[in-house]
Homo-oligomer: A and B are copies of this chain.
Amino acid sequence: MKAKIYVTLRRGVLDPQGKAITASLGHIGIGGVEDVRVGKYMEVRLHDMGKEEATRRLDEACRRLLANTVIEDYRIEVEG
């Protein structure tokens, strides 16, 4: 089974990478972009298990390894 995980900076946390991208887009002539915030996106393949069990394990994975919950939020989407 498959799942997707999105890790994003919490609102209010400065995102220098996103600011650099926003500025660079202007510099290369791509206008109209006001703000970019950069996060991580993970595609996960798991053994078949219940959807709730998969969500429970990935939630633990996010809290313990994949996200820094002081400055980052995460969202889990288990497919099927």
In chain B, what residue has the closest Cβ to A47? B32
- Nearest CB in chain B: distance from A35 CB, A: 4
Bitwise, A1-36 to B at CB < 8 A (1) or not (0) is 000001110000000001001001100101111111
List the number of copies, as a whole number: 2
B32:A57 contact, CB within 8 angstroms:
yes
Bitwise, A58-72 to B at CB < 8 A (1) or not (0) is 001100111000000
B21, B36, B65: the one contacting A28 at CB < 8 Å is B65
In chain B, what residue has the closest Cβ to A37? B43
In chain B, what residue has the closest Cβ to A5? B36
If A30-B57, A47-B34 touch, whether A6 touches B41 (CB-CB below 8 Å) is yes
Alpha-carbon distance A62/B67, docked complex (angstroms): 25
Q: In the complex, what residues of B have CB within 8 A of residue A25's CB?
A: 61, 65
